[in-house]
Amino acid sequence: MRIKRFFVCTGLLVSHLIVGLLVAIYGKSGNDGMRSNNLPSCSFKSPIIHIRTEREVEGGGGAHNKRIVFVITPTYKRLTQKVDLLTLCHSLSLSRAQVKWIVVEDSKNPTPLVSNFLSLCPVSSVHLSVRTPHKKPKLWWFQKIFVKRSSWRHRGIDQRNMALQWLRDKYSTQNCHEGIVYFADDDNRYHYRLFDTISKTVKISVWPVGFVGGILYEGPVCYNNTVTKWKSWAVNYDPERSFPIDMAGFAINLCQLLEKPLANFNNSWSRGQLETEFLHQFVTSKEELECRGSDKEVHVWHVKTAKPSISKSHQLQHFLET
């Protein structure tokens, strides 16, 4: 009886060991295969498009809102790039507006870091890239000191223009009525309700931007969210500008862009005049702009993530992806 019980227990123990070994071997290989299938492709062909359906994501595109907010974001390589993109992705995903995120890298080709990040962000996105020429003109130091209009390139101009060209190639004046274009730098901070406000744009809408020009906010002081009555503009930096507003403080209907195929950002524009010169291609006076939002409720802030102090970072290059 004891011998029989011994053999039974031994058989059960051996069978459990065999099953455990099989699960460990085939389970590991199956997970490896699954993991490799989920990795994004490394053959980067611009544009890289990441589409999220309404069933896959709750935010960033409610079925009740047919208007599409095209959010154009220039980005460049730096230590805080992924952190800033993550913050913007979070705001976009919480919005009830339908969002299409157009991310344009300042690089020759789309980088794996940004491509992998966008593949995991729960917002439909388009990934483009164009490198900004870094060649400074002759006598650049003389122009910087004595000439008001500098001829060196503004950061983000080539990237914004590429995104505008992508929209012109993709859409026409027949199917543009539900589209709104907004320029969102990745180092700003955005309340998700801002994109709901943007989706209400008819032609060109404006709103205040926090922490700009050395004051609490800059932009239109709206009255009852209406265009018909303006109180004043709260401006500190260059108040003589026709449209004294930050890049994060306006949105434009897609049809307005398509009706003016030559309307782009120009590198010859003076520093601080990019927004004014760009809007001048569509409107001539402040009265033509739609006043959205409220000076008591700012939804976008012009901030920068502090550059981290990194020492001996080479020791982590084999372990971490920053």
Distance CA 315, CA 203 (A): 52
Instruction: With residue 20 as reference, give the H or E element that holds it.
Output: helix 2-38
* Side-chain half-sphere CA neighbours of 172 within 13 A: 1
Catalytic residue among 178, 275, 290, 321: 275
Q: Coil, strand, or helix at residue 232? A: strand
Task: Give the residue carrying structure tokens 């997970």.
Answer: 31
**Strand 179-183 and strand 215-223: pairing?**
unpaired
Distance CA 261, CA 291 (A): 26
CB atoms within 10 A of CB 269: 17
Name the β-bridge partners of 103.
73, 127
* 213 to 100, 216, 313: CA distances (angstroms): 30, 8, 35
**Catalytic-residue membership of 240:** no
Residue 36 backbone phi and psi in degrees, to 5: -70, -30
- The helix-helix angle for 112-120 and 81-94 (nearest 10°) equals 20
* 217 to 61, 153, 183, 273, 277: CA distances (angstroms): 29, 27, 18, 18, 21
187 annotated among ligand-binding-site residues: yes
Instruction: With residue 228 as reference, give the H or E element that holds it.
Output: strand 226-234
CB atoms within 10 A of CB 18: 10
* 119 to 57, 81, 112, 123, 212: CA distances (angstroms): 13, 16, 10, 9, 33
Cis bond upstream, residue 47 (ω within 30) = yes
Sequence ranges of the binding site for Mn(2+)? 187
Active site residues: 275
